A and B are shown apart, each in its own frame.
Chain A
Amino acid sequence: MELDSQPFGSVLKEKAQLVLGGLEQGNVGTAVQELLHINDAKTNSRYRQIGKITRGLHNAIGNLEFSNGERAGPKRDVQSRVGYVINLTQDAANRTMDLAEEATPIAAELGTASNALREDGRKLANRELSADEFRELYKKMADSLIFSEEKSNQLHVNLTDIVVTQGYQDLSGQVLLKIVNMLNATEGDLVNLLAMAANLQDVSCIAEPDPAVESWVLGR
């Protein structure tokens, strides 16, 4: 008979028969011997359960932060990751706004340049241009178009960069998923711990001992 691996309930059932048997045969020595075996089994079972709980507690606590900050567990991990997400999204928001703010005057400049050119065109149509102004017109047009092309390219760059900056959503999303997984793991550990603690109460009478069982075992 292996006390270490048999569940206490079945040991109790087996030995209780032997105790009764011994008493019925008037063999008190046997009865007491088997009672001692029951007690040993109870103690071993209790130790095993305590061992399990200690390990479970160690795992769960290992995942929390020690007050001296000795071990960085999920709580510290969660804090630093949340901090990372806040900074990342803030930087992305600011960069997006910077790019948009840069682009706004450029768009205005393009409008102004087109407007000036249109005004020149109107003067040309109404023959309001002087000879010098007329000669200058071609150069003005060419300069204006080069200007528009450069500014349009700049707008294009800014708009593309705004799109690229939205990549923060992917990076922050990945970090948030990691946080959720860590929290689920810690919750799982604690739920297991609760289950083990409940089991220990059943098996080892660390909680309320059942007076009926107690008096029967002690022979009162």
Chain B
Amino acid sequence: MKILIVDDFSTMRRIIKNLLRDLGFTNTSEADDGKTAFPILQSGDFDFLVTDWNMPGMTGIELLKAVRADPKLSSLPVLMVTAEAKRDQIVEAATAGVNGYVVKPFTAAALKEKIEKIFERLEAG
């Protein structure tokens, strides 16, 4: 399971990487913006994307839409981890095809639960 973590704050990337390692996911890569993340996704075989929303170059929602629009990446599971808690943003992400949404600040349990739920649903087909 190869996972890409995207957030413009390195401390947040480190926290998410730490929690993923706790869940047994040790094969993780990082990017600090949607702009740098997209080519990384296109060139690697990633199984999961965790991304922030607010990033200076390409936002998380733009990255999500780009991923869904790319035939090679369109079915990539995406979890959004963001400080944005407004209803219309959550709806916009859901409409764009996000698989899960976690609002910062989150607990370790909350993040783990969301990730497990995404994989449950994917296995169920």
Q: Which residues of A contact B (CB under 8 A)?
A: 157, 160-161, 163-164, 166-171, 173-174
Q: Could you say which residues of chain A place their CB within 8 Å of the CB of B15?
A: 163-164, 166-167
Given A160-B19, A171-B104, 13 other A-B contacts at CB below 8 A?
A161-B108, A163-B19, A164-B15, A164-B107, A167-B105, A169-B9, A170-B7, A170-B11, A170-B83, A170-B104, A174-B9, A174-B54, A174-B83
Is B104's CB under 8 angstroms from A160's CB? no
Q: Tell me the complex Cα distance, A133–B32, Å.
A: 61
CB<8 Å pairs between A and B, sample of 6: A157-B108, A160-B22, A161-B107, A164-B19, A170-B12, A171-B104
Q: Does B18 contact A (CB under 8 A)?
A: yes
Task: State the CA gap A178–B123 with chains docked (Å).
Answer: 41
Q: Which residues of B contact A161 (CB under 8 A)?
A: 107-108
Residue contact A173 to B18, C-beta cutoff 8 Å: no
B interface list, Cβ under 8 A from A: 7, 9, 11-12, 15, 18-19, 22, 54, 83, 104-108
Most-contacted residue by chain B among A163, A170, A171 (CB, 10 A): A170
**Complex Cα gap A168–B104 (Å):** 9
Q: Is the CB of A164 within 8 A of B83?
A: no
Task: Pick the residue among A157, A160, A170 that contacts B9 (CB under 8 A).
Answer: A170
**5 pairs of A and B residues whose beta carbons are closest in the complex:** A170-B9, A170-B12, A169-B11, A160-B108, A163-B18
- The distance in angstroms between the C-alpha atoms of A164 and B15, with both chains bound, is 6
A167 touches B108 (CB 8 A): no
A167:B104 contact, CB within 8 angstroms:
yes
A167 touches B18 (CB 8 A): no
Q: Which residues of A contact B108 (CB under 8 A)?
A: 157, 160-161, 163-164
The listed residue with most A CB atoms (<10 A of its CB), out of B9, B22, B106, is B9
CB distance from B81 to the nearest CB of A (A): 10
Q: Which residues from A are CB-within-8-Å of B22?
A: 160
Which residue of chain A is the closest to B17 with respect to CB atoms?
A: A163
List residues of chain B with CB within 8 A of the CB of A170.
7, 9, 11-12, 83, 104
* B12 contact set on A, CB distance < 8 A: 167, 169-170
What A residues does B54 contact at CB under 8 A?
A: 174
In the assembled complex, the Cα of A169 lies from the Cα of B104 at a distance in Å of 12
A116 to chain B, nearest CB (A): 30
Distance in angstroms between the alpha carbons of A173 and B8 in the assembled complex: 10
> Are A171 and B105 in contact, with the CB atoms below 8 A?
yes
CB distance from B111 to the nearest CB of A (A): 8
Which residues of the other chain, A, contact B11 by a CB distance below 8 angstroms? Answer: 166-167, 169-170
